[in-house]
Amino acid sequence: MTVTIRTNPATSNRSVNLSLSGEAGSGGHAAHSGTRPVGSLAATQATTNGSGIFQTTYTAPIFGGTVNILSRVGQSNLEKVLEVIVAVEGLSELGASADYSLVGTTTTHPDNHYGTATALTNLPLIASDYLSEFSGAEILRYNDMSLVLGGKFDLSNNWSSGGDHSEHRIGINCDVYSGNVPQSRRSALTLIFAQRGTPNYVDETSSSNHWHLRFQ
């Protein structure tokens, strides 16, 4: 996004200094190791132009959360702060139900079941379809989806830009635990996945004990 510093009254050739800081605990990231990435500014020092304005570009990090852009003009001790919310729009939390359980919450990622409207509509239907077909079955366990503001879900809790959960960014994914689903029922369950908005699920049952759903 474009960041504009405007002096009032308009004053040219005034020095401008910008810096960035991240808000601890924002975006669903709590008590992480390392330093929160805050993105970057194309320029952090410059002077205002003939109209008393300085502009630069801010590039957000891949992690959701609150970033503060701090500005100081001239020799003044007065610091202005612009609060930027880095987020994927339109995510909501999947509510609890007797048809499924929500698992995977940790102290570092206490809110891990956020998704798009499509995901939130179909996940309860998948669970109820499964119970309808297999009466008395153990309910499905829904593990990680996306964090409260979306963005990179760093499973390692260290602000890693790579590694596991590379897709859990925009609210269209959910990991469904396979350990309590008998082999004899798995083909029927995966058919339910396909019929309920996630035909391109990934079968990771042999390596990670879950199906990785991808809602369209």
Please state, as a whole number, how many other Cβ atoms lie within 10 Å of the Cβ of residue 140: 23
* pLDDT of amino acid 149: 98
Spatial neighbors of 202 by CB under 8 A, at least 6 apart, are 211, 212, 214
Reported CATH class of domain 2-86: mainly beta
* pLDDT, tens digit, 9 for 90 and up, residues 121-135: 999 999 999 999 999
Maximum distance among all alpha carbons in the chain? 75
**What is the gyration radius of the CA atoms in the chain, in angstroms?**
23
Enumerate the domain spans of the chain. 2-86, 92-214
With 90 as the cut, is the pLDDT of residue 64 above it?
yes
* pLDDT of amino acid 78: 80
- Say if domain 92-214 classifies as CATH 3.30.70.360: no
State the pTM of this model. 0.93
pLDDT confidence tier of residue 14, bands split at 50, 70 and 90 = very high
* pLDDT of amino acid 99: 98
With 90 as the cut, is the pLDDT of residue 161 above it?
no
pLDDT confidence tier of residue 164, bands split at 50, 70 and 90 = confident
Of the candidates 35, 26, 20, the one whose C-alpha atom is nearest the C-alpha of residue 81 is 20
With 90 as the cut, is the pLDDT of residue 162 above it?
no
* pLDDT of amino acid 28: 96
Measured at the CA of 25, the angle between CA 21 and CA 29, to 5 degrees, comes to: 105
pLDDT confidence tier of residue 111, bands split at 50, 70 and 90 = very high
